[in-house]
Amino acid sequence: MIRVFIADDEGPARERLKELLEDIAGEVPTELAGEAANGVEALERLPASNAQVLLLDIRMPGMDGLELARHVTALENAPAVVFVTAHDKHAVEAFDLNALDYLLKPVRAARLAAALKKAINVGAPQRENLARAAGGPREYLSVAERNRIVLVPVRDILFLRAEQKYVTVRTKAREHLIEESLIALEREFTGTDLPYPFVRIHRNCLVARAAIRGFERTGGGEEEAHWQVVLDGVPERLPVSRRQWPTVRELIAERP
């Protein structure tokens, strides 16, 4: 029995998939591990469902399927993912390029059976492949805590700082640790055309541009003087490296 979880915002589409799963039960026995009508709901229900395969619609309100899949990989026993889409040329091209499996709506029973068998063998998708297929930055970062996924909205993040093996995610309320590389995060979140852009102020630190309240000069005398970022809402000061200072100053000057 393969445990299948269905995430689709359209009721009839979920019904249809369930019907098809029943139809192919002789060939591929499955049981329904759960279902959800949007991305956030799916992330709440998935960890406890012990799903092995996630049938995932791409266009969903709140959080789209591609971003959801990226958070799901943070789970310890992450399910395999089969994307389902009605018509999304860009996504389909991205899937083909990055070895991700997908089905086109309306789904055929035979295709569904083949996809499930394949998914069980292949297992959870590679995080890098999902990131490349997504094309845009995530709206949340995800932290796996025991057996649940905590979503941290990117717009709430003040800064990201690399520690030994982890990256600290600081929001006004608290800190989280995530297992991602600062370099990959920089690539994802520092574009100037992003809704919540970050800027690198130091080898180990990215700061949300919107969170910067000002700069303070410290040191002098014996010690070499340097600049520090003063943040909105938290007392921490973050040092700006000499190398990054000109870039940071320029970016801030551009701010309306």
Partner 1 sequence: MASIRQNAYSELLPDFRNMAVMARVLVAVNVAALTGTLYATPALGPALERFVYAAAFLEPLLLIELMVLYAVSPFFPRFTYWQGAAAIVGLTCVLAAMYHAAVRSVAGGDAMPSIVRTLLLAIVVAASLLAYFRLHSKAFSPALAEARLQALQARIRPHFLFNSLNAVLALIRRDPKRAERTLEDLADLFRTLMADARQFVRLADEVQLLERYAEIEHLRLADRLRVTWQLDAAPLDALLPPMVLQPLLENAIYHGVEPGTGVGDVLVRIERRGERVHAAIENPHLEQGGQRAGNRMALDNIRERLALFFDAEARLETRIANGRYRVEIEIPYRRA
| Site residues, partner 1 (CB under 8 A) | 9-13, 15-16, 19, 38, 40, 59, 61-62, 86-88, 104-107, 136, 195
AA letter at 40: V
Q: How far is the CB of 155 from partner 1 (least distance, A)?
A: 11
- Residue among 78 and 91 whose Cβ is closer to partner 1: 91
Q: How far is the CB of 225 from partner 1 (least distance, A)?
A: 41
- Residue among 61 and 219 whose Cβ is closer to partner 1: 61
Q: How far is the CB of 255 from partner 1 (least distance, A)?
A: 20
Under a CB-based contact definition with an 8 Å cutoff, are residues 59 and 104 in contact? no
**β-strands 205-208, 157-162: how paired?**
antiparallel
Q: How far is the CB of 200 from partner 1 (least distance, A)?
A: 23
- Residue among 104 and 144 whose Cβ is closer to partner 1: 104
Under a CB-based contact definition with an 8 Å cutoff, are residues 181 and 189 in contact? no
Q: How far is the CB of 142 from partner 1 (least distance, A)?
A: 18
Under a CB-based contact definition with an 8 Å cutoff, are residues 201 and 229 in contact? yes
Q: Among 76, 74, 106, which residue's Cα sits nearest to residue 8?
A: 106
Q: How far is the CB of 134 from partner 1 (least distance, A)?
A: 12
- Residue among 71 and 170 whose Cβ is closer to partner 1: 71
Alpha-carbon span 144 to 75, nearest angstrom: 6
- Residue among 88 and 180 whose Cβ is closer to partner 1: 88
How would DSSP label each residue in 161-180?
EE-SSSEEEEESS-EEEE--
Q: How far is the CB of 14 from partner 1 (least distance, A)?
A: 8
Alpha-carbon span 78 to 71, nearest angstrom: 10
Q: Which residues, 6+ apart, have CB-to-CB distance to 213 below 8 Å?
A: 230, 231, 232
Q: Which residues of 38-70 are buried (b: 16+ CB within 10 A; e: fewer)?
A: bbbbbbebbbebebbbbbbbbebeebbbbbbbb
- Residue among 136 and 214 whose Cβ is closer to partner 1: 136
Rg (CA), the chain: 22
- Residue among 82 and 167 whose Cβ is closer to partner 1: 82
Q: What SS3 state is found at 4? A: strand
